[in-house]
Chain A
Amino acid sequence: MSSLLSAKEAFQKLPQKLHNFFIKYPPRPFAQYATEPSNVNDAQLNPFLPNKNPENGRWHGPKYSLRRSADLYKIAYKFGVHELLPPMPQGKKFFEDKYENKNWMRGQLRQKKHKWERELDDKITTRKAAMNAMDETIIKARPSFKKQLEKKKQRERSWY
């Protein structure tokens, strides 16, 4: 069996494609990348995602296309450095991860339902949260409400 590789030797084995990418976009713990499209001036912009130019409202296409990003991921995976790349676009998954997160027998095991039905649970929870935080929301819009609220609290009766 051949001797174990040191970190320096192993770095020499890194394909040029990945080395080139890391020069332009340093690996993950040394740099942070947005998981969602952001604007062009953002220091954390993700090169795999489209980003908006806030000055003129135009969208810049991703620096690396879906194909190129997938290619980079696959090579990085072979060398065990796939976690160092920026987050993949559109939550793209590969290999086992992709297989395990597959929606098997889509539409047959579970009905798709209408869009409003699918979104209903989320909608109710957000509505409830909004109702609970209603006082703060009103105070934000109308600071004088704070006084009103205090008065209300004073007037409140209790059994003791």
Chain B
Amino acid sequence: MQGFRKRFQRDLDKYVPALREHYLKRNTAMNLPTLPKATHLPKAEKRLTYREQEVAKGDLIYITKGQGKGKIVTVESYSKDRDSVYCSEVYQEVVVPKMYWMEGQQSHLLRIPLAIPRANFKLAAKDKDENGKTYYVVADEVVMKGVSYDDRYRQWMPRRFVKHHESVEIPWPTPPDVKEDYLSTSQDAVLEKSYELQTIAQSPLPKGVLSELRNPHSKHKKRVLSEMEARMINGPKMPLSTEQKIYLAKKAAQPEKKLSKLSEEVEDFIGQKVADHLNKITNPALKTHLEALSNVKVPDFEKTIKKIEH
């Protein structure tokens, strides 16, 4: 089983398939030759939900290839890492040296279940016809349509149908019972609220506790600065340098720039130019445009006029 990837561990997902195969082969070179070959399924190809997996533990499958071909068997488990199923009918007998025997092992021969890849099986279902005779349905392909709440799984499960025969629904198998042990939480205890998220909206402390713990008459809470503190915060005024003083004196000595209104002569001159130009214009659209332009108010112009008046 793959857990968290360590920092310097190889990420097989990033390898090209050929390189990945080479690495796996080299990595398992010292394994017993009888053990099944190591495989790697990229993370993107993993089927993690029931909707993607299409089969679950307890389903019937029809094996189409390899060992057990033509048999209808029950799925013992589904492997997410290999995207394949295991069942008790498809296995390999491996010779195991005595040092590797498991507890209770009696023989050198050990049955190892073989993974049945997705390509080698089809989902099957059992039903009874009108006469009470059992028959099997094998779905070449499965489609998921809609969801219904399944109390056995305690979740919303997609509904499985045989593709192109969508009146035929294949119900999900009954999942194995979860046995409770000493570590499991009882169903009632699960709903019990034992932790509440603290928010800034509500103080975790009871009312009035803070003023008991802290000094309400602290000088830091008065918000009044002593003269010394004010001096320290504001800092002294820096004296002007000689250059600054010279500059300021020069500035003060210079006469202030005064704006004045345009003289009548200038106004007439400009006006004559504008009149000559505007009187030539016949296009009404252009006239409207110029009218709009001359009506535009400019705040800076108002400021200038104010300066002149003062």
* B266 on interface, CB distance cutoff 8 Å: yes
Q: Which residues of A contact B270 (CB under 8 A)?
A: 11, 14, 22, 27, 81, 84
Interface core residue of B274, B277, B290, B293 (most chain A CB under 10 Å) = B274
* A10 on interface, CB distance cutoff 8 Å: yes
Which of B266, B278, B290, B301 is the one whose CB lies under 8 Å from A20?
B301
Q: In the complex where A17-B296, A23-B261 touch, is A5 in contact with B290 (Cβ < 8 A)?
A: no
**CB of B263 to closest CB in A, whole Å:** 8
> Are A13 and B278 within 8 A (Cβ)?
yes
Q: In the complex where A16-B296, A17-B296, A80-B273 touch, is A24 in contact with B268 (Cβ < 8 A)?
A: no
* B269 on interface, CB distance cutoff 8 Å: yes
Complex alpha-carbon distance, A72 and B260, angstroms: 21
> Are A10 and B272 within 8 A (Cβ)?
yes
* 28 intermolecular pairs with C-beta atoms under 8 Å apart: A5-B275, A5-B278, A7-B271, A8-B268, A8-B271, A10-B271, A11-B267, A11-B274, A13-B278, A13-B290, A13-B294, A14-B270, A14-B274, A14-B294, A15-B298, A16-B301, A22-B270, A23-B261, A23-B304, A27-B266, A30-B266, A75-B293, A78-B293, A79-B290, A79-B293, A80-B278, A81-B277, A84-B273
**Consensus secondary structure, chain B interface:** helix
**Closest A residue, CB atoms, query B297:** A16
> Are B259 and A15 within 8 A (Cβ)?
no
In A15-46, the 8 Å CB interface with B consists of: 15-17, 19-20, 22-24, 26-27, 29-30
* B183 on interface, CB distance cutoff 8 Å: no
* A150 on interface, CB distance cutoff 8 Å: no
**CB of B288 to closest CB in A, whole Å:** 13
* B276 on interface, CB distance cutoff 8 Å: yes
Q: Which residues of A contact B277 (CB under 8 A)?
A: 79-81
Q: How many residues in A have their beta carbons less than 8 Å from beta carbons of B?
A: 29
**CB of A68 to closest CB in B, whole Å:** 11
* A4 on interface, CB distance cutoff 8 Å: yes
A-B contacts besides A16-B297, A23-B259, A30-B269, 6 pairs, CB < 8 Å? A7-B268, A23-B262, A26-B262, A75-B293, A78-B293, A79-B290
**Closest A residue, CB atoms, query B257:** A24
Complex alpha-carbon distance, A84 and B277, angstroms: 14
Interface core residue of A13, A16, A20 (most chain B CB under 10 Å) = A16
Complex alpha-carbon distance, A14 and B290, angstroms: 9
> Are A17 and B271 within 8 A (Cβ)?
no
* B229 on interface, CB distance cutoff 8 Å: no
Q: Which residues of A contact B293 (CB under 8 A)?
A: 15, 75, 78-79
Q: Which residues of A contact B274 (CB under 8 A)?
A: 5, 7, 10-11, 13-14, 79-81
**Closest A residue, CB atoms, query B275:** A10
Mark B140-154 against chain A: 1 for CB-CB distance below 8 A, else 0: 000000000000000
> Are A24 and B294 within 8 A (Cβ)?
no
**CB of B196 to closest CB in A, whole Å:** 60
Complex alpha-carbon distance, A30 and B308, angstroms: 20
> Are B301 and A17 within 8 A (Cβ)?
yes
Complex alpha-carbon distance, A6 and B274, angstroms: 9
Which of A15, A22, A84 is the one whose CB lies under 8 Å from B294?
A15
Complex alpha-carbon distance, A78 and B65, angstroms: 88
Q: Which residues of A contact B300 (CB under 8 A)?
A: 20
Q: Which residues of B contact A24 (CB under 8 A)?
A: 259, 304
Complex alpha-carbon distance, A11 and B262, angstroms: 11
Q: What 10 A-B pairs are tightest by C-beta distance, nearest first? A: A80-B277, A11-B271, A7-B271, A10-B275, A10-B274, A16-B301, A16-B298, A20-B301, A13-B294, A7-B272
* A156 on interface, CB distance cutoff 8 Å: no
* B283 on interface, CB distance cutoff 8 Å: no
**CB of B267 to closest CB in A, whole Å:** 5
* B234 on interface, CB distance cutoff 8 Å: no
Complex alpha-carbon distance, A79 and B290, angstroms: 8
> Are B273 and A81 within 8 A (Cβ)?
yes
**CB of B271 to closest CB in A, whole Å:** 3
Complex alpha-carbon distance, A79 and B286, angstroms: 11
* B279 on interface, CB distance cutoff 8 Å: yes
Q: Which residues of B contact A7 (CB under 8 A)?
A: 268, 271-272, 274-275
Mark B120-157 against chain A: 1 for CB-CB distance below 8 A, else 0: 00000000000000000000000000000000000000
